[in-house]
Amino acid sequence: MQLKRKSEGRTNYRKRLNLLLSNKPRLVIRKSLTKITSQVIEYTPKGDKTIVSCNSKELEKYGWKGGLKNIPAAYLTGVLIGKKAIEKGVKEVTPDIGFNTPNKGAVIFALLRGAKDKGLKVNIKENISPGESRIKGQHIAEYSKINNNIFKSYKINPVELPKHFDEVKANISK
């Protein structure tokens, strides 16, 4: 009989074992329909221990007015989790993307790049993360000129998103 989490399709134990063998805390990234969540988790024999966690909803404390599940929000969430992890004494992590598909330029790699840029040592290739213009939201600003109807949930004009991104990044780094 299979383990419950395996039969439900929630845990890949072979992949988990490989992550645990690295003897480093894991940077766990999960996407929902509304936000992106990240946690730094350490294995203990009694069970996993969460060291720090954050989600893209916390960006609103730093003045973020854009969407919460796009590439700029993921990058800023990575910067925030990197800052929190370094404050707790974590220097190096191994990425745990779960069942997310590792596509080049994906949201999960924007978060990993944000954590890496903040000073957390993350073993990812440079060419797999989104480009600088996508991280700043330039693609959103350009698309909003064509179709602005899908950005009604934003509290800012999407054309101003790249400039706003820099302001929020500076607020997080303070």
Q: How many CB atoms lie within 10 A of CB 50?
A: 11
Q: What is the C-alpha to C-alpha distance for residues 174 and 169, in angstroms, rounded to an integer?
A: 9
Q: Kindly indicate the confidence band of residue 1, based on its pLDDT and cuts at 50, 70 and 90.
A: low
Q: Which two tokens stand for residue 118?
A: 């903040």
For residues 145-151, give the mean pLDDT: 88
Residue whose token pair is 């004494």: 89
Q: How many CB atoms lie within 10 A of CB 113?
A: 24
Residue 87 has pLDDT above 60, yes or no: yes
Contacts of 42 (CB under 8 A, 6+ apart): 25, 26, 48, 49, 51
Q: Do residues 72 and 140 touch, judged by C-beta distance below 8 A? A: yes
Residue 94 has pLDDT above 90, yes or no: yes
Give me the pLDDT at residue 21, please. 73
The whole-model pTM stands at: 0.91
Give me the pLDDT at residue 121, please. 96
Q: Mean pLDDT, the chain, as a whole number? A: 92
Which domains does the chain show, CATH number per domain? 4-173 (3.30.420.100)
| Cα atoms in the 13 Å half-sphere on the side-chain side of 80 | 25
For residues 111-115, give the mean pLDDT: 97
